[in-house]
Chains A and B, each alone.
Chain A
Amino acid sequence: MSVRWRQTLLLIGPVLRIVPWVPVAAAVLVSALALLPAVADAQAPASQVWGLRIAAVVLGAAASFAMVDPMALLSVTPTPRWLRQWLRVTVALVPAAAVWCCLYAAAASSAAPQRLPLGDLVAEAAVCALAGVVGAAVAARGGHSLTTAVAGPAAQGGLMAATLFLPASYSAWPLPGAAQWETAHDWWWAALVVLVVALVAANGEVWPWRVRRAGAGG
């Protein structure tokens, strides 16, 4: 087994302990409540799709609080930063994704006559959740307190504010079967790519550039 794998296995336990599980549990509760109208009253139009969207946002908001390392300035570790940060992403997002999939299954079974396109809804949900995680990951490069992670929900709020109030014909949130569904989801997929690239960049090592340059010069 390579050193990396051994490090990873050793780190899983501590990372599991540092993820703030109470917000995650609260988010699971809120997202289940958001889907309640869809399951209880299948007649309510659009409640399945909107329930799933809200669930993704709330789950992502909770997951973003796992991204900040309060001890980052002090921790001199043998593991690279990217490994620690990606472990945080994985540990926070895997349960969120699992919960979302359960909610999707519940929504899809209640929306019998309506079709819920899984692939496109996954793209939407991934962008909604990752917007928070990426926001927190970027902020965590410089900030190390709990309030640093508020950048995650703030990024999600920015995403909502920028897209929710567009005129109906340019809406980023069409319902399945709407004319602009395809176009809107091309944008969702593009946003997903952008967010993944941003997450890769944000989870990289925070190089002390000045020190390095001074060292190179000297």
Chain B
Amino acid sequence: MTAMLSEPAPAVTPARVATTSLALKEARLLLGTSTLWLGVGLAVALCTAWGWTTEPRWDTFTANSGMASLVLAGFLVLIGHLAASRDHRHGATDSARTLPASTRRRTVALLALIPTAAAAAALAVGAELVLLMPAWPAGAFDPWLLTAAVVIPMVGAGLGVAVGSWLPSTPSGPLTLFGVAAVLALLPVLGSSAGALSWLLFPVVIDENVAPEIPRPTGWHLVYLIALLVVVTAVAVLRYWRLVAAVAVVLAVVVAVVAVRRQQAERLPITPDTVAAYLDESAQQCEVRGSVTYCALHGYGRWISLWQGAVEPIVRALPPNVTNLPVVRQGSGPATSVVVDQHWGRHGTWARDSRLDLSAEYIRVLLDMPEQLAGKPGPGSLPERNRAVLPKGSMELSTGPRCSGAGQLRTVMALWLLAQSDTDGRALLGDREKLRFGRVDFGQAEIEAARRLLDAPRGRVEALLNEKWALLRSPAPAGDALAAFGVAELPVSSGGSACQ
């Protein structure tokens, strides 16, 4: 038996195929790095923790997931640097020179880390969204900001590769990371208002959206981030394609400057006057549920059932002939409506606090009690929260002088109605912190009277409500109206401090 033995023809791999297979190898190596998955896990955990207490909205979600992506980008700077400086560690420089793939081809293959980082970041954002379930972000969806959360880790990976190919010594990776983190940490310290230049340079848009439909130049922000990505990528290959890469860097810097300038130009100055049109009745979509009208801003239709949970128990306790029930409006509205803002607690006590706040506010408007704010109210009614709605200083909030609702029938009925809104009304009446109606002060006597009403059969209280409804919406003293429930005449506050 003879065998034909011949020299196999030398396999010549085309450059493109070789680069592609190297790139795929780099991508697989990155996906196998436990540090990457530690970063993804940390990003998802941070985003979930930051959004845990409030009902999700698109603007806060993109801010949280953007900040989480920034943490992931930090991990990728380190990983990218370690990958790009691989040839220089453990005295491997000489061995690496003997490899068939040139340093240029290896550097180009390392750029595969950038799309791989994008995939990891997209996975993280997806996991963050899934962890919000069963809730889903409300408000206006901004695709640019969601994309920014994916682009930021790409910039991190590109920066790591760029620094690793120019400064391969091991300390330069962590020092670059800390240097960049220092710059990013100082940017917000320098910028006081949301429109300041340093805030526009910050990779994540973290200011809250005052109104869902207010125009925000977020597309330009994404252009700025992509320009940064082009800069770091071009710097990584600058050693091998000097002219092309240098031109790319210059062009990208020009684009970045233009993008930031456009953001400055297109940003709407946030003042009560400019935002009014985006918060008033024309921006709200109304829906009738039960006998109450709820008007939500764009994208907040899902929240109507949350508000309904706060309002419905009160409406059920009212006499059936009460017709002109206050409208619940999100954003702004006349004084006869109940105004809610874009915050709502999620889970446990946070949700309960939001619900009780709205119940108390609904009762306050229903019974025509004096409101918390004196002077011109800004958008959103719950004053302690307006701070978050508008950047500091853009609106003057002043709390009106406290007044006394002691001895008024309306105060006692307000307390009884509020007790109806919670599963354990008696326990609620024992918690002074939760019992707040505008700027109305009251004492233990009124709470005690409301407790007596709670003990009485519900039908008798409803009959009282029916009978005295006109009186209830005025500051009239209780007199002997509650005598049937065993309540002695309540002491009435005299003088000018009584609520009107």
Contacts and interface: CB of A to CB of B under 8 A. Distances in A.
Interface of A: 20, 22-23, 26-27, 30, 33-34, 37, 41, 44-47, 50-51, 54, 57-58, 61-62, 65, 145-147, 149-150, 152-154, 156-157, 160-161, 165
B90 interface: yes
Given A61-B171, A165-B50, 11 more contacts: A20-B171, A23-B175, A50-B186, A54-B178, A146-B170, A147-B82, A150-B78, A150-B173, A152-B174, A153-B178, A157-B74
B182 A58 contact: yes
Contacts of B178: 30, 54, 57-58, 61, 153, 156
Contacts of B182: 30, 33-34, 54, 57-58
Given A23-B169, A147-B82, A149-B171, A165 B49 contact: yes
6 contacts: A23-B172, A44-B189, A46-B189, A146-B169, A147-B170, A154-B78
B194 to A, nearest CB: 16
Interface string B149-192: 00000000000000000000111111101110110011001100
The 3 closest A-B pairs by CB, nearest first: A153-B174, A23-B171, A54-B182
Contacts of B175: 23, 26-27, 30, 58, 61-62, 153
B171 A37 contact: no
Contacts of B189: 37, 44-47, 50
B206 interface: no
A30 B179 contact: yes
A160 B70 CA distance: 14
Looking at chain B's contact residues, the main secondary structure is: helix
Interface in B2-42: 42
Contacts of A161: 42, 71
Nearest to A49: B189
B41 to A, nearest CB: 11
A147 B172 CA distance: 11
A157 B73 CA distance: 13
B97 interface: no
B174 A61 contact: yes
Contacts of B464: none
Contacts of B173: 150
Contact of A34 (B42, B89, B90, B186): B186
A70 to B, nearest CB: 10
Nearest to A70: B90
